[in-house]
Structure 1
Amino acid sequence: MSDAELVSALRDLLGAELVAYLGTVKETGAVRQWAEGSRAIANPTDKERLRIAYRAARMISERDSPAVAQAWFQGLNPILDDISPARALRDGDLDAEGPRVLGAARQFAAVG
């Protein structure tokens, strides 16, 4: 999946504002440009963060809906020490938090 396809699919699942937050940009215009392919995701860590977010969002939206996935990313999560998955991915060490977020998404998708 290309970066443009990734961002476009993630934007469809989570919305442009949440993708901008995860991609550490301040404006949704950057998200649109990424999705169009007219702007590159400059930081490899941001790109990996978006890939992890896509995997988690897709797991949840396959069981429920994109709206549920969006709410899950923003809600406090007891598995993640009562911080939101979006914040864990954005502010935490991606090597540690990425697997934790995926595990929490897997559990949510399995149990609800």
Structure 2
Amino acid sequence: MTTLNHSAVFVEATRADIHQLVRTMVDAIGAPLVQILSGAKDNTAPHRWAHPESTEPDTLTEERLRLGYRVWLTLQAAEDRDGALTWLRDKNPVLDDERPVDFIYQQHAQQVVHAAESWVSGTPTR
């Protein structure tokens, strides 16, 4: 069973520089998934946001990116990158058979974070 430091994950996700956060997400899960969870219409947006000299995403998009980063940091505790990527992309019965990336886009923070924490710890969800 994996132990998570919920506070540290939350603090990192809320305080991280947005450009560094996006750069980490693009490297970890790929620009297409970052685009989906952020709701960006332009497929080059994640790459632009990753550069420190570039513009920042709007407030709503930044909130989605930070939630996605929080979920990704949680999933990293499982030490199974491929499993974590599959978990993000595939429909999830715990999330009403929707993909976790869609729950991030819709900003259902409590549900998607709880589902990620349950997956990492191996405990059944309520």
Which TM-score bucket, shorter chain as reference? Answer: 0.7 to 0.9
In the other structure, the counterpart of 2:40 is: 25
Matches within 5 A, 1:54-73: 54-73=69-88
2:51 corresponds to which of 24, 36, 47 = 36
Identical amino acids, percent of aligned pairs: 28
CA apart distance, 1:58:
1.6
CA apart distance, 1:22:
1.2
In the other structure, the counterpart of 1:108 is: 119
1:75 correspondence with 2:86: no
Unaligned runs of 5+ in 2: 1-15
Cα distance in structure 2, aligned partners of 1:11 and 1:3: 12
Q: Which amino acid aligns with 1:5?
A: Q
Per-residue CA deviations over 1:41-92 (Å, capped at 9, x if unaligned) read: 02x12111111111111211231333322211111111111111111222x3
1:12 corresponds to which of 14, 17, 27 = 27
Q: Contact 1:89–1:98 (CA<8 Å) still a contact in 2?
A: yes
Q: Which amino acid aligns with 2:98?
A: I
Cα distance in structure 2, aligned partners of 1:65 and 1:35: 24
Q: Which amino acid aligns with 1:61?
A: Q
Cα distance in structure 2, aligned partners of 1:28 and 1:65: 27
In the other structure, the counterpart of 1:98 is: 109
Task: State the number of aligned residues.
Answer: 107
More helix by share: 1
Q: Which amino acid aligns with 1:25?
A: A
Per-residue CA deviations over 1:4-58 (Å, capped at 9, x if unaligned) read: 011011112211100011111133321111001212102x121111111111112
